Amino acid sequence: MEITFLGHAGVALKTAGQHLLIDPFITHHPGAQAAGISVESLELDELLLTHGHEDHVADAPAFAGRPGVVSIANYEVAMWLKSQGAHEVIPMNHGGVLQRPYGSVRMVNAVHSSTLPDGTPGGNPAGFIIESEGKRIYHAGDTALHLDMELIGRHWKPDLALLPIGDCFTMGPEDALIAAAMIQCNRIVGIHVDTFPPIALSDDRKARAVAAFAEAGKTLILPSIGETFTV
């Protein structure tokens, strides 16, 4: 699997000949444009949305409306996306596992909120565990540290995890280290950080977090926009 960081909580996955996007936030993210990333530049077969907040769904209608694109989200977000002109939606909810052409996607718990941009209820927020080509990645969505993460470590041990670290609306980097231990993952990509002033972390706090992860035998990656990882 190839995972490319698109800025904020957005990632592109390329696996088994399929192109997936999770929570792309591009049009209103100046860093994405500076890195040469645009909605038009991204190939797409499947769109996954963790919850209904604008910084996760703003570009979703443009992607979901493309012919051939399948969009996966919780029931409420999926129905909203359908009303916005989505080509094909697959609604699911927590605990469900969908078999997909590349492998599978499991919806797991996140502790957050999920109101859609127009104020309609966006169901409950989630994370995803994607399994493909013998590997697993976990995108935690927007979430606090929570004890259900123990289940992920007990049963699904991801090879790489994308965890929010920007604090204020989600956990910060110190809680992300506890989360990394719970999910039994040594390779963490820190996301949902520095996009807006409330989730900006000081260089010092980031450096301390990177050192604390290293001390625990783990790696905290603070990716540049456009950076690609292979698992």
Using the minimum distance from each CB to Mn ion, give the nearer residue, 54 or 133.
54
Using the minimum distance from each CB to Ni ion, give the nearer residue, 142 or 175.
142
Using the minimum distance from each CB to Mn ion, give the nearer residue, 9 or 78.
9
**Owner of token pair 């976990």:** 138
SS3 annotation, the chain: CEEEEEECCEEEEEECCEEEEECCCCCCCHHHHHCCCCCCCCCCCEEECCCCCHHHHCCHHHHHCCCCCEEEEEHHHHHHHHHCCCCEEEEECCCCEEEECCEEEEEEECCCCCCCCCCCCCCCCEEEEEEECCEEEEECCCCCCCCCHHHHHHHCCCCEEEEECCCCCCCCHHHHHHHHHHCCCCEEEEECCCCCHHHCCCHHHHHHHHHHHHHCCCEEECCCCCCEEEC
| Nearest one of 125, 120, 122 to 110, comparing CA atoms | 125
For residues 114 to 143, the per-residue mask of contacts with Mn ion, x marking binding by CB under 5 A and - elsewhere, is: ----------------------------x-
Closest distance of CB 181 from Ni ion, Å? 24
Using the minimum distance from each CB to Ni ion, give the nearer residue, 14 or 29.
29
For residues 54 to 73, the per-residue mask of contacts with Mn ion, x marking binding by CB under 5 A and - elsewhere, is: -x------------------
Task: Report if residue 23 touches Mn ion, rule: CB under 5 A.
Answer: no
Q: Which residue is nearest to Ni ion (CB)?
A: 53
Binding part of the chain for Mn ion, among 49-57, 60-68, 130-138, 219-227 by CB under 5 A, reads: 49-57
Closest distance of CB 215 from Mn ion, Å? 29
Closest distance of CB 211 from Ni ion, Å? 28
Using the minimum distance from each CB to Mn ion, give the nearer residue, 75 or 169.
169
Sheet holding 18-22, edge to edge: 88-92, 70-74, 46-48, 18-22, 10-15, 2-7, 228-230
Q: Which does 131 bind (CB under 5 to 8 A by kind): Ni ion, Mn ion, none?
A: none
Closest distance of CB 55 from Ni ion, Å? 6
Q: Name the site residues for Ni ion (rule: CB under 5 A).
A: 53, 142
Closest distance of CB 169 from Ni ion, Å? 6
Which residue ranges make up the site for Mn ion (CB under 5 A)? 53, 55, 142
